[in-house]
Structure 1
Amino acid sequence: MPQHKSAIKRLRQSEKRKQHNNTRRSKMRTHIKKVLNETDKETAEKYLKEAVSYIDRVSVKGIIHQNNAARKKSKLTNHVNNL
């Protein structure tokens, strides 16, 4: 446990950020699953648009790396194109 006042505050901040980032990451995974579980191409394209937008937002915020985001978007796009 931290002893200094600044270290205590830093611990509080990091916990808060961790919860916030985990929420965003979980929501991103939900968007991805929606696309991958869809069998209808038109609906999958709609979900793809939402997922790509959300992945971009998460990437810009620094929750995931840009290359990771690009890889996920590419995987989803290939999946929808193969439907």
Structure 2
Amino acid sequence: MPIIKSAIKRVKTSEKAEARNASQLSAMRTAVKKFDKAKVAGADNLEDLYKAAISAIDHAKAKGLIKANKAARDKSRLAARYNK
């Protein structure tokens, strides 16, 4: 545990950021999994889930949670599954 006041604050801040980032990354993965599950089941709201998944990927990229190439790759794979 740090002793210096600024280091103590930094630990608190980084823990909050880590929790927030994990939550947002989890939300992105959940959106993609919901789309995949609906695609297999042949659900009616497939287009809405597709848009939500794309939006979640874009949001994660904008927040710096994933890199641009991963976002592009994920969106490309998602589009391929959507059109198949």
Query: TM-score if structure 2 supplies the norm length?
Result: 0.89
Measure, in 2, the Cα distance between the counterparts of 1:38 and 1:63.
Answer: 25
Measure, in 2, the Cα distance between the counterparts of 1:44 and 1:68.
Answer: 23
Bigger relative contact order (CA 8 A; separation at least 6): 1
Q: Verify: 1:29 aligned to 2:29, yes or no.
A: yes
Equivalent of residue 45 in structure 2, options 43, 46, 51 = 43
Runs of 4+ in 1 over 4 A off after TM superposition: none
Report how many aligned residue pairs link the two structures.
82
Measure, in 1, the Cα distance between the counterparts of 2:73 and 2:20.
Answer: 23
Residues 1:33 and 1:44: Cα distance change in structure 2 (over 3 Å): same
1:21 Cα deviation (Å)?
A: 0.3
- Tell me how large the CA RMSD over aligned residues is: 1.3
For residues 39-78 of structure 1, what are the structure 2 equivalents within 5 Å? 39=39, 40=42, 43-78=45-80
Measure, in 1, the Cα distance between the counterparts of 2:47 and 2:25.
Answer: 21
1:43 Cα deviation (Å)?
A: 2.4
Measure, in 2, the Cα distance between the counterparts of 1:79 and 1:42.
Answer: 15
Measure, in 2, the Cα distance between the counterparts of 1:35 and 1:45.
Answer: 9
